[in-house]
Amino acid sequence: MSRRALTLLLAGFLVLALGVVGAFSPVPYVVLSPGPTENTIGEVDKKPVISIKGRETYPTSGALSLVTVAYQGGPAAQIDLLTALRGWIDPTVAVVPQETIFAPNRDPKEVEEENTVEMTNSQDSARAAALSELKIPFSMVVTVVSTEKGRPADGKLLKGDEINSVDGKPAKDVDVVGDAVKAHKPGDNVTFSVTRGGQKLDVTVPTVAGPKGQTLVGVVMQAKYKFPFDVDINVGDVGGPSAGLMFSLGIVDKLTPGEITGGKRIAGTGTIQPTGEVGAIGGIAQKMVGAKDSGATVFLTPADNCAEAMQAVPDGLRLVRADTLHDAVLALDALRTGKGNVPACEAG
């Protein structure tokens, strides 16, 4: 074999070896794919997803399914380049930078605690929204769960503090408190009126800029509600704020005569405020695929996700815009009876 041929052969092996090594090298991306669906008026592991005690309930039919996104990758288990490439050519999945899912330089325990609080807040907000829709009275108070070490609130706001107001504005829910803080510029002071150990006092906390430039004080909060009866939500390993709308609809369906689905398989997504406003979510394309695969024919879509959803909606899945829980209830009533307006997602 000539020297030139040997050189080309060795170069070819080197390129091949580098290609193989590169293909299996970890990359800082996360693959998002359609996750499992759960019928909120059905069962998980032979247990009702929503169980109500202390109040009359009514039979249901069809499905009101929450949809999820599964992810592969992350700081503790990065995917390789080959997996990312497969994701980029698969229209049913998305490949996104790792930092869009996992906040950099965060203590994993703090993140886990915040995720747990977020899940609890979402389910409580769903209960509150459903009872508000049905005009059933209840009470609520925003409480401090913890503070982030080294942040301004650390040592100033204490676990168990009940936040009554922020800068004189009533703390109607967790988001109101958060928005009041974000309305400040980093370096401003925020005044919290709290109840601590039965005593009311004002606590002044300076603000700082967060990792993404937002204003924060470093406090983890939770809305604690006092409901007139028990509403338990059981979803196993599934959770997160994007299921709020479907939890609320499931509660409303169980607490009202008749079946709001009309026997249809309805799926949907959206965060929920205690007052019933539906908020945008991520992974809408993957969630619609999961909905279609579960047999759903109607998909309740937050208004702010409509434009994106229309670009990727699977054939046979009807998009219904849901601005509020009340709008969603009315839309399902119109679908069932054939009377009334069914708001659709529109371009632009």
Catalytic-role residue among 132, 242, 254, 292: 242
- Catalytic entry in 156, 254, 287, 292: 287
Q: 160 in helix, strand or coil?
A: coil
Cβ atoms 140, 222 nearer than 8 A: no
| Side chain identity, residue 194 | V
Write out the two tokens for 205. Answer: 């906390």
Amino acid at 284: I
Residue 268 sits at φ, ψ, to 5 deg, of 180, 175
242 catalytically annotated: yes
Residues 124 and 224: their CA atoms lie apart, in Å, by 8
Is 300 in contact with 245 (CB distance < 8 Å)?
yes
Is residue 152 within 8 Å of 217, Cβ to Cβ?
A: yes
Element (H, E) at 189: strand 189-196
Could you give the CA distance from residue 143 to residue 282 in angstroms, rounded to a whole number? 27
Q: Which residues have a Cβ under 8 Å from the Cβ of 339 and sit 6 or more positions away?
A: none
d(CA 25, CA 79): 8
- Exposure string for 212-241, b = 16+ CB within 10 A, e = fewer: eeebbbbbbbbbebebeeebebebeebbbb
Which secondary structure element, helix H or strand E, spans residue 68, and what is its range?
A: strand 63-73
| 2 is an active site residue | no
- Which residues on neighbouring strands pair with residue 44, listed in sequence order? 47
The whole-angstrom separation of Cα 109 and Cα 97 is 22
Pairing of strands 63-73, 318-322: unpaired
Active-site amino acid positions: 242, 287
